[in-house]
Structure 1
Amino acid sequence: MKSRIKRLTILLLSLTVVLLILLLFPLLPYESGKTERIAPSLSSPPSFEIYVATDMHYLSPSLHDGGEAFQQYIEAGDSKLLQYSDELMDAWAEQIIAGQPQAVILSGDLTNNGEQASHRQLAEKLDYIERAGIQVLVIPGNHDILNPWARSFKGDRQYKTEFITADDFRQIYHSFGYGEALDSDPESLSYVAKITDQLWALMLDTCQYKNNLELGYPKTNGSLSDSTLKWIIHQTEIARNHGAEMITVMHHNLLDHTIFSSGFTLDNADKVFNVLNESNIHLTLSGHIHIQDIRSYQGLTDIATSSMEVYPYQFGVLEFDTAVSKVIYQTRSVDVEQWSESNGVRAPQLRQFKDYGRDFFHDQSYNKAMNALKDQGYNDVQIQNMAETMAELNLHYFAGTVNIIDEKWLSSPGMKLWEQAESGFMSKYMQSMAASAKENNHIEIHYSNTSP
């Protein structure tokens, strides 16, 4: 009798443990093809904000000493403010916590060249944001994974440093999307995450990094496989069945944002566009080109937010109004000056960051134009006029504010010389900038959960 009671007691205890496990852990992420599980209810407030940033190109301070090799690397680069990427990220983290958005989305090129040290230190900063109760979601960019260009800088030399694999990326950023995914694509680092019950994020890995080590460089192009497109169709059907709107996030562009679209717009953009459009998706968030630009086509808008590491060091803010199914996008600059003041930072470059950052980008653009115009048959005054015009337009082009540039620059002697110049990259680039005189920092989009 005692033996039977003992067995019954053990059985009851076992059942109790099983029930507790099911109550405490009912909603673990599921694998594709298994029964779908929906994450805990995240009620949608009447209005909320999402912050979106891209191309942070974060470089851990542990990987450079500020020496000769590092300075040469910056001067030869594409105007990224790598010398202050740590401070820029810290300032933004404080700004995020003060603003308390519903979520923060990072759309790739999280690190300079995929250095493991940069990834791990950035993850620590993102953890600081999540511990403040703010959801963080990330996807990789073409610089982030299996990048043979990963380098550290010491004295007058560059040194190879450890990069990461796709599995490493999933592990390092487990807490920032991958560990809370409703579903993950078995063919890539794409996944779906819930922001609220009515808003889900389709986070797409568009990068082609598998052959980087054989190539010896990080491949720039992006695309989505047919299997991933089928997975997307399935995920959008699930979202629609649950009355949820989806926004899509990818590193590469869905629509052409400049005349130099090769390597920036998805290689199979038409096919991807058709899938998203037929799935009633209205908004895509991208980056990659480092330029602030907004394009719309057939009811689908692709917002390319400018690089946070490049002038004007800004990020996007999406304000959702669920009562009228409307989202407003606008940009804000990272407030490095406020962060410097509140943290007692005395470096003048950071205390007057707006001026310093503008001058840094202007001077880099000016010097590149001066070098490109040498031996082109222009005199010194003409070269200076053309370089100054190029630098001024470039400031507005990257900021998405060509629409408010002073007319004197568009009719300046330097601009006239550019218009008369022989066809070449710089000449086409100038024409592209001048043709971008439209609003690129603000848009209102109306959406609906109903099928088309």
Structure 2
Amino acid sequence: MKGKRWIAVALVCLAGVGIGGCSIFTGAPGDVREESETMGEDGLVVPSASSQETEESSQTKPTKTEPESIPPFPDAERETKAEPMEDGERIVLMTDVHYLARSLTDRGISFQNEIEHGDGKLTHYVWEIVDAAFDEIELLTPDVLIVSGDLTLNGEVKSHEEFAALLDEVERRGISVLVIPGNHDINSRWASSYIGKKREPVQTIDAGGFASIYAQFGYNEASERDPYSLSYTYDLSPSMRLLMLDTCQYSPVSKIGGMIGTETYEWIDRQLEKAREDGVILLPVGHHNLLDQSRVYTEDCTIEHSEELIERLEAENIPLFLSGHLHVQHFMRHEDGRGIYEIVTSSLTTPPCQYGVLEYRDDESFSYYTRQVDMEKWARRHQSTDENLINFNTYSKTALKNIFYNQAYDAMKNSRQEEKGDLFVKLTEEQKKAMAEVYSRMSTAWYAGKGYEAVKGAVEDPGFKMWQEFCYPAVLYEYLEYMTADSVRDYNKLQSE
């Protein structure tokens, strides 16, 4: 059936029909599918090799492409300490850091290949980005820093230990830190070192190891802990409680997608009831998405059967859910603007390398905005001679565009000629380059939550017309059409109604 479906859909695309879904999905950004792993001693896991699988994804529909008006938010002065909030809590949100221990790479050929043909993370500058970001947030005087999963590149035990040491330095500055795991953090078969030309497997950790390494960043201070997962609650103030949800699947090995087990739902029900009895605000945080933030990446990004969680949260009139995982700056509201909001903060190490600031008031209204890490300022202060860091704003955007260009070009290069029934798709070198360029430009803007700035130029580009003509490679075409349909506003600023 899949083969017949492909033939029919591809023929429709080549017949010149406009934007319409026609792809078979191959996975979430930067992720690959999981198979078996070998358990080592002391709960450590040694990864084994595997291959990707493909799955079908939902179709998308075009919408308007003009940006909507969003109330402006003043960015706090970077040289002046912000005044603490008097009527609520200020929360700094970082996610998908994908930290790699320095000892696990010599920045050689294997490491550079991972960067240049990866999913957009600037892992070769993760140490500088994290250092700069942690320096900056002190001036914001936040009540808490939340790191919502994918703390490490692929769950390397050394990366966890080194990152935890950096979080300890943040707490020594007087900022509380809370973490939850992401799908890359526990029982990962991709934990590796990158030395010279070789990528070698290294040890990862299990759930118990995660809770042990990050004990002082939520787990030892929790008000309540779920015995069936790494979920917990944390009293941020007398009037606000954080519901830190472990949405990951890692037993026996890590999976990309998110799910919450039956026992954990029972624990969540008790926490909702307790918050109501205690008269406190409950703010839920997870790694995976509550809502279908991406119509292309629903299966591996949205929590499986998330309608169960949505129903519980909306029954308690909880207005907001915070997440990451997608690596894209985004937000949306359930039920056509009547239900719960979800804000997805983009990956800290993916350009434009930013984090979120949430000001959540006692009346449960909130303001959210993002701040780009000022790497050029960091380079000046540290007297760096690295031209990429000195000119980071230009470099990082160009680097991301090149990565997305490589993604598209490699997909076409590796599929020079493919037979789909009686249909052959064969692209010239000029067509590949033109199509890869427009895909790269649109992806770079969309990841930053500012696709509306690029969408008009993209759809008028000859390369975009080629995507519409060929709908090939299909998974990238569906991704491109979704980005253009979704680019209607600036996703970096949100104020509750």
TM-score normalised to the size of structure 2?
A: 0.77
Q: How far did residue 280 of structure 1 move? A: 2.2
CA distance in 1, matches of 2:179, 2:287: 10
Equivalent in the alignment of 1:232: 268
The correspondence for 2:319, drawn from 240, 264, 282, is 282
The correspondence for 1:434, drawn from 484, 487, 490, is 484
| Aligned partner letter, 2:366 | V
Q: Is the 8 A contact 1:233 1:279 kept in 2?
A: no
Q: Is the 8 A contact 1:44 1:198 kept in 2?
A: no
CA distance in 1, matches of 2:382, 2:365: 37
Equivalent in the alignment of 1:52: 93
CA distance in 2, matches of 1:248, 1:362: 34
Shift in alpha-carbon separation, 1:262–1:65, aligned structure 2, 3 A: same
Equivalent in the alignment of 2:330: 293
CA distance in 2, matches of 1:154, 1:379: 37
Query: Which of 1 and 2 has greater Rg?
Result: 1
Equivalent in the alignment of 2:434: 385
Q: How far did residue 76 of structure 1 move? A: 3.2
Unaligned runs of 5+ in 1: 1-42, 213-217, 447-452
1:378-435: per-residue Cα shift (whole Å, max 9, x none)? 3333322211111110011101111222622221111122122236111111101101
CA distance in 2, matches of 1:343, 1:198: 41
Equivalent in the alignment of 1:5: none
1:79-127: per-residue Cα shift (whole Å, max 9, x none)? 2111111111111110111222111111100000101111111111111
CA distance in 1, matches of 2:107, 2:126: 13
Q: How far did residue 205 of structure 1 move? A: 0.4
Equivalent in the alignment of 2:386: 347
Shift in alpha-carbon separation, 1:330–1:193, aligned structure 2, 3 A: same
CA distance in 2, matches of 1:371, 1:123: 36
CA distance in 1, matches of 2:357, 2:178: 15
The correspondence for 1:312, drawn from 352, 357, 360, is 352
Equivalent in the alignment of 2:166: 125
CA distance in 1, matches of 2:355, 2:401: 20
Q: How far did residue 54 of structure 1 move? A: 0.9
Unaligned runs of 5+ in 2: 1-83, 417-424
Aligned residues: 398
- What is the Cα-based RMSD across aligned positions, in Å? 1.6
Q: How far did residue 290 of structure 1 move? A: 0.9
CA distance in 2, matches of 1:48, 1:238: 21
Shift in alpha-carbon separation, 1:124–1:426, aligned structure 2, 3 A: same
CA distance in 2, matches of 1:321, 1:379: 56
Moved more, 293-302 or 369-378: 369-378
The correspondence for 1:197, drawn from 238, 246, 249, is 238
Moved more, 411-420 or 203-212: 411-420
Q: How far did residue 344 of structure 1 move? A: 2.0
Q: Is the 8 A contact 1:114 1:143 kept in 2?
A: yes
TM-score normalised to the size of structure 1?
A: 0.85
Q: Is the 8 A contact 1:229 1:275 kept in 2?
A: no
Q: Is the 8 A contact 2:442 2:455 kept in 1?
A: no
Shift in alpha-carbon separation, 1:275–1:154, aligned structure 2, 3 A: same
Mapping for residues 77-96 of structure 1, pairs under 5 Å:
77-96=118-137
Are residues 1:366 and 2:405 paired?
yes
Q: How far did residue 47 of structure 1 move? A: 4.4
CA distance in 1, matches of 2:320, 2:442: 28
SS in 1 for 2:289: coil
CA distance in 2, matches of 1:415, 1:156: 37
Equivalent in the alignment of 1:10: none
* Higher RCO (CA < 8 A, seq sep 6+): 2
Mapping for residues 397-412 of structure 1, pairs under 5 Å:
397-405=446-454, 407-412=456-461
| Aligned partner letter, 2:391 | Q
